[in-house]
Structure 1
Amino acid sequence: MGGVTLRPAPTLAQRKRQLVADELTRAALDLLADGGFDTVTVDEIAAAAGVSKRTFFRYFASKEDVVVQFLATLGAAMHEELAARPPGEAPSTALRHTVWACVRDCAGHEERARKVVRLILATPALHARFLERQAQWRDRLAAGLAARLDLDTGHELYPRLAADMALSAFHTVLQRWSTAGPADAAAGGDAAVDIAALTDGCFAVIAPALDAAVRTPAPHTGPATA
């Protein structure tokens, strides 16, 4: 069977390791989201996961590292989705689906994900790491867009600007969605935020610019003069 590459099945040890990592992540994110980043200790996270503190440090360097790993999975989802979009699809459509692949994962675990997003946005150290990750995502999205459109990221402005616009929409969606919930409804806030509609709404605003820039290349001009 030429041309077929089968990925080897994970070993028992690898499966056990992944189960421990998943349980630590779940326990850490739940405790940090409910108790606050500065309040919850590594000992409490380890106890909630049913492991020792020493085991925690085999998987994560710090509490912050757990959240950074959560962000890494979001970035991977974006990159994979953009790579899988059909060739020739309008950039706004491809990028909307790319962002939605990431947002959809949050919506699938709504209340827990909402708390984690609030934690990230409200904790300066975590928010800084979030912005760092977004910078990495921007570079990968820009490279992916350039490949799709046969553009040179070293000279063309479009891929980087388009990636920035998509990530700005993503950030706006998370900020708006994370501040709406049952507690906000009791205080008179808007708890009826539909995250899918919100994502579509953000891209409806930026889609004309994303698609027009591709249809109408910017004219080549000389250096700006004073």
Structure 2
Amino acid sequence: MVNTARATSGLRELTRRAVRAQIAETAMTLFVANGFEQTTVDQIAAAVGMSGRSVFRYFPTKEDMVVGHMDEIGDRLAEALAARPLEEGPWTALRHAMQPHLDELTDNADTNLAVAAMLDATPALRPSLLNKRARWAEALLPNTVRRLRGPTGTRELRARAIVSSALACLNVAVDEWARTGGTKPIGDLLDTALTAVRG
């Protein structure tokens, strides 16, 4: 009985995540096509075949739909870092963990360049994006702490500094890639940024 209840609960959560992902993806498509401010929740709801009220059960605000899309990326980054060998140092492991995200950006370059332009042109989204980056950092922190040696009392502090710096490098690289219309290899941009930070 307990196992059945657990399985039902797990299936429900998987379904909820799938619906959230569909809404977020659809919303991002509409935001890019029409502009964030110009796109209504009712338009998003119609595109996914549900009511506006139902959409609000998954995302309280339009801004949350953008961040919901970004949360998926953060989850994948954390999973990629967790999959790296523990003997890799934190910088190396983080760089490898970021590669699938870079590949995804370049595989869908036209769409992602348009998303970057939309985000840059929408000041109202900046607080949500800052919160997103903080969540990414928290997700990456545990598997960064595990890779550090030296005094245990400062490991979390050092890990936070490394994760924050690495994510700042990722953001700078993506911004430069978008600014140049995707003409510069994004991996090279990230490596240049990481080298500058690490000195």
Query: Taking structure 2 as the reference length, what is the TM-score of the superposition?
Result: 0.79
Report the secondary structure of 1:73's partner residue.
helix
Residues 169, 194 of structure 2: 8 Å contact kept = yes
**RMSD over aligned Cα atoms:** 2.8
Report % sequence identity: 33
For this pair of structures, how many residues does the alignment match? 192
Instruction: Name structure 2 gaps, 5 residues minimum.
Output: 1-5
Match of 2:133 in 1: 134
Match of 2:186 in 1: 195
Pick closer, same or farther for the CA change 1:8–1:200 going to 2, 3 Å. farther
Residues in 2 aligned to 1:159 and 1:144: alpha-carbon distance in whole angstroms = 9
Does residue 171 (structure 1) correspond to residue 162 (structure 2)? The answer is no
Residues in 1 aligned to 2:39 and 2:61: alpha-carbon distance in whole angstroms = 12
Pick closer, same or farther for the CA change 1:15–1:147 going to 2, 3 Å. closer
Shift of 1:153: 7.1
Shift of 1:69: 0.7
- Which one has the largest radius of gyration? 1
Pick closer, same or farther for the CA change 1:142–1:58 going to 2, 3 Å. closer
Match of 2:119 in 1: 120
Does residue 81 (structure 1) correspond to residue 80 (structure 2)? The answer is yes
Residues 153, 159 of structure 1: 8 Å contact kept = no
Could you list the runs of 4 or more consecutive aligned residues of structure 1 that deviate by over 6 angstroms after TM superposition? 13-16
Match of 1:33 in 2: 32
Instruction: Name structure 1 gaps, 5 residues minimum.
Output: 1-6, 182-190, 210-226
Residues 142, 162 of structure 1: 8 Å contact kept = no
Residues 153, 160 of structure 1: 8 Å contact kept = no
Q: Which has more helix, going by share of residues?
A: 2
Match of 2:3 in 1: none
Match of 2:100 in 1: 101
Residues in 2 aligned to 1:81 and 1:19: alpha-carbon distance in whole angstroms = 20
Query: Taking structure 1 as the reference length, what is the TM-score of the superposition?
Result: 0.71
Report the secondary structure of 1:148's partner residue.
coil
